[in-house]
Amino acid sequence: MEMLIPVVAAGVPLVLILANAIRILREYERGVVFTLGRFTGIKGPGLILIFPVIQQFVRIDLRTVVLDVPSQDVISRDNVSVKVSAVVYFRVVDADRAVIQVQNYMAATSQLAQTTLRSVLGKHQLDEMLAERDKLNTDIQTILDRQTEAWGIKVTVVEIKQVDIDPSMVRAIAQQAEAERSRRAKVINAEGEQQAAAKLVEAARELAAEPGAMQLRYLTTLRDIATERTSTIIFPFPADWMKPPLGGGA
């Protein structure tokens, strides 16, 4: 019994050391290992051994992170104040840089996404924010991905979720859209009248070149009027139409 107690007492620290030395990393996790403060490699997934005191490791999740960008106050290029919210999808592609190059890659990416969102949207007019959302998403994603590359972060998707506009601006936009539709209708009507006038000029030239065609046109018009319910019809009849018959009778 006297010999058993020291052996058991010595085994307890050994068990604690082994418990602290064994780490299990899932398939989507990696461990960034530091030995005496220096980076010595990336381990995982599966079972890994860490020497206590001498080595430390940081667990990094490689799955895609969904980051909500809180609503940001943005002033557009045409001086309209709006609130814009977005969502950013990113993941860690280099675990060592995500630990060594930045203190907190989650917070850093969030802050960068907010400032980039305000910066990019502030260069566009309100109409572009509403109509060209896909292009703006791509521009923001490209800028974020380029700036976070040094941190080992890959920004895959950026989506603008909502653009909130002041109610007074909503009414102004509705009036602007109505005015635009009215303008387009007038332009289309004017283009139609212009095309019709061009056709009439072309028809007049052809009729002027053929006097017989003009006579047929007059007769056709008389027939059309005769079918209508009118009591009196005054229709001009060129006197020179009678010259050939009168001249022939002489």
The length of the chain in residues reads 250
The confidence score (pLDDT) of residue 183 equals 83
Mean pLDDT to the nearest integer, 65-82: 90
Cα–Cα distances (Å) from 158 to 20, 95, 103, 166, 180, in that order, read 40, 22, 23, 24, 31
Question: Under CATH, which number does the domain 65-165 receive?
Answer: 3.30.479.30
Query: Residue 71: which of 86, 92, 60 has the closest Cα?
Result: 86
Averaged pLDDT of the chain: 82
Is the bond preceding 45 in cis, omega lying within 30 degrees of 0?
yes
Residue 21, helix vs strand vs coil = helix
Mean pLDDT to the nearest integer, 195-209: 75
Identify the band that residue 239 occupies on the pLDDT scale cut at 50, 70 and 90. low
pLDDT (tens digit per residue) in 137-196: 999 999 999 999 999 999 999 999 988 887 766 666 667 767 877 888 888 888 888 888
Is 50 exceeded by the pLDDT of residue 99?
yes
Mean pLDDT to the nearest integer, 20-38: 92
DSSP 112-140: HHHHHHHHHHTTS-HHHHHH-HHHHHHHH
Is 80 exceeded by the pLDDT of residue 205?
no
51 Rama sector, left if φ>0, alpha if ψ -120 to 50, beta otherwise:
beta
pTM score, whole prediction: 0.65
Higher model confidence: residue 223 or residue 128?
128
Is 90 exceeded by the pLDDT of residue 114?
yes
The confidence score (pLDDT) of residue 250 equals 43
